[in-house]
Structure formats: structure tokens, C-alpha cells
Amino acid sequence: MCRRIVGSGSPAAALIAAFFILFHTVDAAAQDLPPQIAELIERHAEEGGDTEELTRWYESLARRRPSVNTLSRKALGETMLLTAFQIESLLEYRSLYGDILSEGELALVDGFNAAQASLCAVFFSFAPSDSQSGRDGRTDHTATLKTRWRYAEPTPSLTAKYSLRRGASLAAGLTADIDAGEYGPGHPVPDFLSGYVSFKGKRLLREVIAGDYSIRAGQGLACWKAFDLKAFGAPSSLARQPRGVLPYTSSAEAGYFRGAAATLAAGGIGITLFASAAPVDARTLGDTAYTSIATDGLHRTEAELAKRHSMREYAAGALLTGERGRFRYGLNAVAYRYDKRNGRSVKDYNRYQQYDGWWGNISADCYLFWRNARIFGEAAIDARASPALLAGAIWSPGYHFEASLLCRLYSRSYIATHAGAWSSLSSCSNQRGVTLSARWIPAGGWELNSNVQYSFYPWSRYGVDGPSQAWKYRLAVSKTIGKELQLSAQVSGNPGPGWRASAVWERGRWSLKCRYAGNPGGHGCVAECSITSPDKVKMTIGGYIHSTGGWESRIYLYQSGVPQSYAVATLYGKGAGAYLLLKYAPVRWAEMWLRISGNEAAYFTRIFIPG
């Protein structure tokens, strides 16, 4: 038996012909994600994180490719690609020598080598810092269509997106989505409709967003309504990078605010005010109470349709941020309530995680840049004054070494519905823990990463009565040989042991990739061969094989797929399969992707109309 949570698809026969409508081709902007990012996405899947959003984040960054010469210290950190030492070294180089104009020049900056400069070239451009002003009056349009058809299902799923951007001041977007099986009488079409309009100013009123949006505040103890990087990664990943309010562009039907937000700023201090009235899928008792909340967004059966938008959540808040030299600080307050009372049954593990009526959280956070160290933290309380505290530090004395420490102390009764801070549970409560992370880069293309996390749960949690504890660990080593070959291997425990290995060889138009994952209950492997033809048609042929004892010993393996897709396969039981991925870029402003496998097909097209 094989379960695959991958890609997106549609009927193959009708789509193959569309691939070859146009014949003259030039290079398109989209690029495949590097193997380092693929490994990060795999680890994120093992932690139960939202890999679809993480994949989209890096795909979006690779398409936008902001100039490495214009990004601030904060913006460089938000990319989740560079260490603290690399960021400070890059800023110092820019201040002394001016713009970095090529990948080769970046490799000469202290803290970078040829392999890391090549990775950065996927996500950054080297446009001069004075070349961005010409974009102010330009209007860009982007439209995408993604379909999926699993052969066992009678209907495909469809996701359409459109975005508009006029210079740096105006942006708008629309997302329409319908899942497989969400067709027929009584089913709204589309099942999910989301949109936003964003305006950015240059004076007191910095930004206004109307529609659907997400929030990333502080370290996430009060409000982090966005994907969070749960997986063990580089030491720098332990520190969250707050970005305030952002437009919501995902097709996920939960995890967003719907309303309006405005940001005002002057003299290094900014304040964001927001209000929301978002629909919620819930199982209800009549018109007065709810017993559970659904976040899968599926509305295929009458029971699932009955939960659709059956409840509403009202939310409002204020985020104050300030920056003084190398010190950043923030004050965050958020209040929220459902329009139905809490009707959930009370158990030992959730006794202190229930509330009725208005609830909320207040927090204070800080972030200090001091030489090659970064110190960060956040303290929060909820409406009952139950506390939560998080503090950490990142130290990078030089290019070859980086380490971080994160401590957390969350009380049993701290309730934060929209929290997204570092946690070993689904909520920021009932735990005391410490996370250590280190990265060492000796000579010769080697890199070693290690992580260890200890968690103590003073009170009962789901499935465990009374106090308990848990350990997690990871040790990874990688070796880069020239620019052609990358090897990596790791062992981990979460809490059971597991191991991984990968090899990636790239030369000219050819690339070969092999990824392996195993645990005491089974093994799995994915192999891919890709070729890019002279006219920029790319073809990838892949295959996988796995044998595990069942769902408890499942493994996660990254597979190449169409953009904006769930890129990690969840494999369990015994099975094997193959897939074909084609990319065709007929003109610079259009690209088409087709993926065919044994049990599903996927099609994706993107049209970009520059101003």
C-alpha cells in the first residue's frame, strides 16, 4: 500500500499537446529548488510542518530574485538562507566596496565560498542598488493554473491565482480553489475564494491591506499566523524573523485573517492595527456551540459541507515595532473570540486549553545584533495572566562556525490560539525545554550540522498521563566536490531513530539525484535524471521504491513536481512507481509543467506579463 501526498494534477492526454503549441523558446525565470532546500523541506515534513507553504516561499523567492545589493539586514535574515556572520560580512563588504555585481564576486566575500555563492545566485540577483528606481511605474501581471487528477477520484482539483503589482506601491491578488470531490448540487464553486489589495506609502501611512492576510509578530508567542520553520536546520533558524502583516496567497482554507490592516511609521517606530472577521469550519451543536474545529478545507460530503463556515472568529490587535541601531523591539497585543460558545469535552490534557468569549495575549519581544552574536526573546501572558517565555542566542565568530541556544518556559494554562513560537507540541503550553544547534564548516567542502532538543512536560498531554519528557537529535554531514557533486548523510531521532543520505550530480544540461531514507521499520529511495535541451525544454524521469511496516514507520522523500505543490511524498507499506516531469517555456513570459505518475497527473501553467 502506498499513500502519496504530492504535487497537483489533471488529465494527461488533453494536456500533453498543449506543451508544444509554441516552438521558439528562451529562458524562463523559474528554477528548480537546490538540494539543500529539498533536504530542509524533508525535515520540515518529518516535523509535521506545512511543507507546501515552505516550498512556495522558496519558489517565490527564486522567481523574485531581489538584489543582494538592496536588501537590509532584516530582509537578508528573513530569507532564511544566510548565517549571522554571512549577513554582517556582506553588509560590511557593501559599505566598503559598493555593489556586488556577480556570483564570482560574492564568493570572494568573507563567509562565502563558490558553492554558497552558487546557492545564493538561485535566490538573489546582482542588480546594482540604483537600478530599482525604474520599476516604480511598472505594472506586472501573473496568472497561474494548477490542476490535479488522481485517477481513483472522479473529478480533478483546480487552483487558479492572479496577482498584480504596480511598482512598489500597489499589489493585489486573487485565489480560487476547488478540491477533488467538491462538485455537484449544493457545492459552492469555487469552494474557496481569497483575495487582497495592498497599498504601500512612503510617509506616515506605510501600508494598508484589505482582504485576507497573515501576521508574523515577535517570536510567535502571541501571534504568528503563518507557516513556521519547525525542522531542525542551521543555527540561525532558531530565531524567527517577524514581518508584521503580509498578504495571504495560499490555497489552504485555514490559518488566515480576513479584514483590514494598516501600518503607520515615523522615526524608526511603527504601529500596525488590524481587525478580522474570518469564517471557520467547525462541528457545531445547533446554533450556539462548537465541539471541534476543522482545518483540512475539505467539503465533499454532506457532513463536511455542514461544517463549512459554520462559525466565525472575530479578532483585533496592535503590533508596535521599533528599531534603534542594532536593537529591535516589539509590543504585541491581540484579542479574539468565536461567535459560538465552547462545547468541547473536558479532558486532563486539554483542561487548561479552553476558553469562552473574548480571549487574548500580550507580549514583548526584542532582537539585539551585537558583533557576531544575536540575542532574542519574547515574554507573553494571556487573558488569565498565564505566562510564556522564550529566549535564545546565536553566535557566529567566523565563517567556519555557528552555534545557537534556545530556551522556553511555557506554563500549563497559557492559551494562545494564534501562536506559532518554537514548540514541541501543537500549542505553546505545558513544557520546559532547551534546543542546541551548531554548524561547523571545515576546509575541503565539508559541512557538519548538529541539533539536540530536550523537552519536559510537567503535566498531562495528549496520549500521556502525568509528567513526561522527550529527546530529539540530528547529526548531518555534507560534502561538496567542485560544483558538480554534492553528498550528504544524517542520523536523527524523533524520538525513534532514522537516517538519510543523498547524492546530487550536475554537469551542463544533465543532473542525477538520488535520495534515501530509512528507519527501523523500513526504507525508501527516490532517483531522478534530468536533462535541459538547448531550446529550454526540461525533462525529468524519476522512480521510487519503498518497503515499510506501515503508517507508523512511514518515510518522507522529496520528489520533483510542478510549482506550488506539496513536494514531499509520504510513503508507507510496500510499493514502487515512476513519474515523468516536463517543463516547457515557449516564451519568457510563459511556462508550462506536466507531471505524470502511476496514480495521478499534474499540470501547471504560469503566464507573466511584465509592465
Q: Mean pLDDT over residues 368-389, rounded? A: 93
Instruction: Tell whether the model's pLDDT for residue 580 goes beyond 80.
Output: yes
Q: How far is CA 508 from CA 32, 69, 238, 483, in A?
A: 15, 28, 36, 11
Structure-model confidence comparison of residues 119 and 172, the more confident one? 172
Model pLDDT for residues 110-143, shown as the tens digit of each residue = 878 777 888 888 889 888 877 654 455 688 899 9
Omega within 30 of 0 (cis) for the link into 279: no
Share of residues in the chain with pLDDT > 90 (%): 52
Query: What's the pLDDT at 98?
Result: 86
Which residues, at least 6 apart from 513, have a Cβ–Cβ distance to it below 8 Å? 35, 502, 503, 504, 505, 526, 527, 528, 529, 530
Model pLDDT for residues 47-106, shown as the tens digit of each residue = 666 666 777 778 778 878 889 998 888 788 777 788 778 888 888 888 888 888 888 888
Q: Mean pLDDT over residues 361-372, rounded? A: 91
- Average pLDDT value over all residues in the chain: 86
Query: What's the pLDDT at 48?
Result: 63
Structure-model confidence comparison of residues 212 and 23, the more confident one? 212
Instruction: Tell whether the model's pLDDT for residue 328 goes beyond 70.
Output: yes
Is residue 551 left, alpha or beta, with left meaning phi > 0 and alpha meaning psi from -120 to 50? alpha
Q: Mean pLDDT over residues 11-18, rounded? A: 37
Q: Mean pLDDT over residues 440-457, rounded? A: 90
- Cα(184)–Cα(382) distance, rounded to whole angstroms? 44
Query: What's the pLDDT at 2?
Result: 36
- Cα(168)–Cα(113) distance, rounded to whole angstroms? 33
Query: What's the pLDDT at 311?
Result: 95
Query: What's the pLDDT at 234?
Result: 78
Report the range of poorest mean pLDDT among 33-42, 196-205, 208-217, 332-341.
33-42
Instruction: Tell whether the model's pLDDT for residue 229 goes beyond 90.
Output: no
- The Cβ-side half-sphere exposure at 207, using a 13 Å CA radius, reads 23
**Do the Cβ atoms of 431 and 410 come closer than 8 Å?**
yes
Report the range of poorest mean pLDDT among 308-317, 406-415, 455-464.
455-464
Structure-model confidence comparison of residues 372 and 447, the more confident one? 447
Q: Mean pLDDT over residues 182-198, rounded? A: 92
Question: What pTM was computed for the model?
Answer: 0.84
Instruction: Tell whether the model's pLDDT for residue 146 goes beyond 50.
Output: yes
**Do the Cβ atoms of 379 and 361 come closer than 8 Å?**
no
Query: What's the pLDDT at 132?
Result: 52
Query: What's the pLDDT at 131?
Result: 63
Omega within 30 of 0 (cis) for the link into 495: yes
Q: Mean pLDDT over residues 292-306, rounded? A: 92
- The Cβ-side half-sphere exposure at 237, using a 13 Å CA radius, reads 20
Q: How would residue 18 be classed by pLDDT, with cut points 50, 70 and 90?
A: very low
Report the range of poorest mean pLDDT among 172-181, 374-383, 458-467.
458-467
In the chain, what are the helix, strand and coil shares in percent, each to the nearest 5? 15, 50, 35
